[in-house]
Amino acid sequence: MINIYDMTREDLIEWLNTQNVKSFKAIQIYEWLYGKRVTTFDEMTNLKKEFIDTLKNTFTIEGLIIKRKQEDDTAIKYLFELRDKNLIEAVVMKHDYGTSVCVSSQIGCNMGCAFCESGRLKKVRNLLPGEIVGQLLKIEEDANLRISSVVIMGIGEPFDNYDNIVRFLKIINDAKGMAIGARHITVSTSGLVPKIYEFAELPLQINLAVSLHAPNDEIRNKIMKVNEVYNIDTLMEAIRHYSAKTNRRVTIEYVMLNGVNDTKECAFELVNLLRGMNVYVNLIPYNETSHLEFKKSTQKRKDEFFEILNKNGITVTVRREFGGTIDAACGQLRANEVKDK
């Protein structure tokens, strides 16, 4: 049986057509699921019993189970159990302007970035759209809050699960779904170039972030396996195409690794690489873990790197740190759960 949360509204309309049922029923179903947040088909009281029986015979309404919840002043981390007993994590980040959630897109990850704790568990499988939607629904229910923005930067490479991610985006962006504005949604990729070109054709104004983390192939080959397939020149060409096609600015993610990619020379190389492109750089303080040897940059190195970019016309920000005390920060998800599998 199909989890009904896997279905976009267009999917439901197609299914309704096979049942000779009018398409407006899709709106009614969505309003019950995402407006009133019912958990059984019997609660959909404006639908006929015969149709409810058809729904029951075709779909399930399947949510996630909260296995653990940790909280500090900046974040809430959720460990969820799926139907097959696999575990995933999502993080709520508290801002002055609202609440954002970082969701996972896969169980494990095959990208093998050397500095990322989350990738120590190799990919088990892709998450289905309903399992990604379920992270948001369960968080809103448990924390009694309204999610204002979403980043797909948790466990997994979103573009390695492209079709399911697109369906997820359509569901949460749907005015009858979770109604989260496209400009409040960001998808992050480590650099799967063909999917960047495909994403440029998507008729949604979703934000794109690219994890670059190095200004040259020599360094990036050492810390990101994906660069051996899609090198920096190829990646930059794809980003330029995306910006030209969508007229949207791309976020360049750059984690600061002490003595690896945080030198003044690296900063000047990054300036030369990005000059003239419709991008801005988001410098990410590295979050150390007990399993990996990388260390965070010193404050002096971070300040010098920032100033070089800034003085040379590259728009640059520093990501605020969230959830470091509960292993909920960038690159730390599943840090204490890998051993469970």
- Residue that finishes a domain, picked among 20, 43, 60: 60
- Residue that finishes a domain, picked among 21, 44, 60: 60
Same domain? 106 vs 227: yes
Same domain? 9 vs 74: no
d(CA 309, CA 306): 5
Same domain? 145 vs 280: yes
Same domain? 233 vs 209: yes
For 112-147, how does the pLDDT look when each residue is reduced to its tens digit (9 = 90+)? 999 998 777 889 999 999 999 999 999 999 999 999
Same domain? 215 vs 190: yes
pTM of the model: 0.92
- Structural domain containing residue 25: 2-60
Round the average pLDDT of the chain to a whole number and report it: 93
Same domain? 147 vs 24: no
**116 among known catalytic residues:** no
Same domain? 213 vs 294: yes
Same domain? 104 vs 181: yes
Q: Provide the pLDDT for residue 200.
A: 98
For 313-341, how does the pLDDT look when each residue is reduced to its tens digit (9 = 90+)? 999 999 876 545 545 444 444 534 544 43
Same domain? 264 vs 117: yes
d(CA 108, CA 101): 19
The active-site residue out of 89, 117, 131, 337 is 89
Q: In this structure, are residues 116 and 293 in contact, taking their beta carbons and an 8 Å threshold?
A: no
- Residue that finishes a domain, picked among 45, 60, 75: 60
The CATH number for 49's domain is: 1.10.150.530
The CATH number for 173's domain is: 3.20.20.70
User: In the chain, how many domains are there?
Assistant: 2
For residues 96 and 99, which has the higher predicted lDDT (pLDDT)? 99
For 10-50, how does the pLDDT look when each residue is reduced to its tens digit (9 = 90+)? 999 999 999 999 999 999 999 999 999 999 999 999 999 99
**330 among known catalytic residues:** yes
Closest CA to 142 of 106, 99, 182: 99
Same domain? 52 vs 94: no
The active-site residue out of 102, 113, 266, 330 is 330
Q: Provide the pLDDT for residue 74.
A: 84
Same domain? 29 vs 159: no
Same domain? 87 vs 232: yes
